[in-house]
Amino acid sequence: DGTTIDDLIDRDMNEVSLRVMNDKELYEVEMERIFARTWLLLGHETEIPKAGDYVMRDMAEDNVIVSRDRSGEIHVMLNVCPHRGMKVCTAEAGNAHAHRCIYHGWAFRADGSFIGAPIEKEQMHGNKRGKDELGLKKAKVHLYGGLIFATWNEDLPFEEYLGDAKFYLDQLFCRTDSGLEMLGPPQRFVLPCNWKIPGEQSGSDGFHTLTLHRSLMEGGIMGGTAESIYDTAPGMYGVDLSVPQGHTLRCLEAAQTFKMFADVSFEGKSVEECLHLLPPPGITKDLIPQLFKNLSEDQVKQLATIPPQVGGMFPNILIAFIFAPRADGGASGALSLHTYVPKGPDRVEFVNFIFAEKDAPEDVKRDMLQNAIWSTGTSGTIEQDDADTWPQIMRNSRGHMSKTITLKYQALHGHERPEGWVGGGDLYPGFTKDDTQWAWWMAYYDLMTRA
């Protein structure tokens, strides 16, 4: 309607019009310029361990089949039959070496290539295309720490998409010999809100933890007390960071943040001693040597002392790495990834993937699964708060007058490199801030204004 992105995002005032949450035309542009151009998380390779295994997922509103072929390679292909547009695969998950369309019977291999059609002589009569042109449309696939990413964009190498965030994300996803294992199928539910409402929160919004989730602190559900968490907020101190690609993380000082669980001091301790005192979630003492093998010395040092804990990968992934040591001093906690998959301008599918280290003992995996379900699961204590809030913002975005309101990013302090910090990106040390969320919007602006 003549509105430009600069009318919606005011880069001088650091404000965003509430209209962006409820605009059909903008949504269509987002589908083309963001969701068809960047890498999207679809699952984990441990979901489909055997040849022929598949799961059905969505790349925004495009339904895709994620499958493993006979050679072990993983493929992602559009679940749209090139004959008349029917869904080729109608099951959520299963094992099949061939997918046969129920409409007229065209069949496709696990790598998407066309096998044939029934009554082929008649069905293919007059066909102007060779069989090799009748396969399912394929997306480009990249496995990162076993996480399955896919994109329709031929020109965006995965390394370029990760940028300087790799140094930090490796510490979560690529740290042990066997890597992560996904615990069960993802939990899913649909919320009546625009994808950017949870999306911008995933840009490491620390302040909402202190207010929206305060009842969890007061109730002792997350450990500690209201005094130790809200008022002095040790869990809010550390280093926030962002990269131009829009990925953000909050790295929290372990000895400070987790005082509520274990009163430890890292003073004069080696990295290995710190890891033994306060092992990162899911890392048992047996797994500690593997950290040194799979990560650089600088990465292990950071993981031990000021680990990346929460944040997001642009455009729609939330990373939640929750610390909850067990009474026996063992490693537990939770590692969840959420994706916020757009389902129209006013609907989002919340998908929750839960992980543990594949080599962790079964009782640790069980604890990690339980912790993730009760905290960041679809009915978890944390997500119930968020799932109540986001639709109310959405509802407000519809009002004639409400649309004139702008979202204000005021806690901006600018970036500053702490002494001795090794990783890249823009760094924001100290108490939590709005800088990373604003960086999320700047990545959004960048993609939306690229021709």
Task: Provide the minimum distance between the beta carbon of 99 and ligand FES in the complex, in angstroms, as a whole number.
Answer: 10
Nearer to ligand FES, 101 or 439 (CB): 101
Task: Provide the minimum distance between the beta carbon of 274 and ligand FES in the complex, in angstroms, as a whole number.
Answer: 58
Task: Provide the minimum distance between the beta carbon of 101 and ligand FES in the complex, in angstroms, as a whole number.
Answer: 3
Segment 58-117, which members bind ligand FES (CB under 6 A)? 81, 83-84, 86, 101, 103-106
| Token duo for residue 421 | 């910090």
String of contacts with ligand FES for each residue 26-65, x by CB under 6 A: ----------------------------------------
Task: Provide the minimum distance between the beta carbon of 117 and ligand FES in the complex, in angstroms, as a whole number.
Answer: 7
Task: Provide the minimum distance between the beta carbon of 55 and ligand FES in the complex, in angstroms, as a whole number.
Answer: 20
Residue 134 touching ligand FES (CB under 6 A): no
What pairs with residue 95 in β-bridges? 53
Tracing tokens 């009546």 back to the chain, one arrives at 192
Nearer to ligand FES, 27 or 106 (CB): 106
Cβ atoms 171, 308 nearer than 8 A: yes
| Token duo for residue 181 | 């294992």
Nearer to ligand FES, 77 or 351 (CB): 77
State which H helix or E strand residue 108 sits in.
strand 107-109
Task: Provide the minimum distance between the beta carbon of 77 and ligand FES in the complex, in angstroms, as a whole number.
Answer: 14
Task: Provide the minimum distance between the beta carbon of 85 and ligand FES in the complex, in angstroms, as a whole number.
Answer: 6
Nearer to ligand FES, 115 or 156 (CB): 115
Segment 360-419, which members bind ligand FES (CB under 6 A)? none
Phi, psi for residue 262 in degrees, rounded to 5: -150, 125
Cβ atoms 229, 235 nearer than 8 A: yes
Q: DSSP letter string over 267-301?
A: TT--HHHHHHHSPPTT--GGGHHHHHHHS-HHHHH
| Token duo for residue 182 | 């996904």
Nearer to ligand FES, 87 or 395 (CB): 87
Task: Provide the minimum distance between the beta carbon of 132 and ligand FES in the complex, in angstroms, as a whole number.
Answer: 17
Can you tell me the distance from the alpha carbon of 419 to that of 396, in angstroms, rounded to the nearest whole number?
Answer: 44
Task: Provide the minimum distance between the beta carbon of 84 and ligand FES in the complex, in angstroms, as a whole number.
Answer: 4
Nearer to ligand FES, 90 or 392 (CB): 90
| Terminal C-alpha separation, the chain | 18
- For 159-163, the CB contacts below 8 A with 24+ separation are 161/38, 161/39, 161/245, 162/245, 162/247, 163/243, 163/244, 163/245, 163/247, 163/424, 163/425
Nearer to ligand FES, 101 or 241 (CB): 101
String of contacts with ligand FES for each residue 244-263, x by CB under 6 A: --------------------
Nearer to ligand FES, 126 or 414 (CB): 126
Nearer to ligand FES, 5 or 124 (CB): 124
Task: Provide the minimum distance between the beta carbon of 81 and ligand FES in the complex, in angstroms, as a whole number.
Answer: 3
Task: Provide the minimum distance between the beta carbon of 63 and ligand FES in the complex, in angstroms, as a whole number.
Answer: 14
Name which of 246, 281, 242 is nearest 372 in CA terms. Answer: 281
DSSP letter, residue 6? H
Helices then strands, counting H and E runs in the chain, come out as: 16, 22
- Which burial class, exposed, middle or buried, applies to 319 when counting CB atoms under 10 A from its CB (0-12, 13-18, 19+)? buried
Name which of 354, 333, 337 is nearest 283 in CA terms. Answer: 333
Nearer to ligand FES, 114 or 167 (CB): 114
C-alpha distances (whole Å) from 128 to each of 86, 103, 137, 330 are 21, 21, 18, 64
Q: DSSP letter string over 148-184?
A: EEEES-TT--HHHHHGGGHHHHHHHHS-SSS-EEE-S
Nearer to ligand FES, 108 or 323 (CB): 108
String of contacts with ligand FES for each residue 182-201, x by CB under 6 A: --------------------
Phi, psi for residue 342 in degrees, rounded to 5: -60, 135
By CB under 6 A, the count of residues binding ligand FES is 9
Residues that bind ligand FES (CB under 6 A): 81, 83-84, 86, 101, 103-106
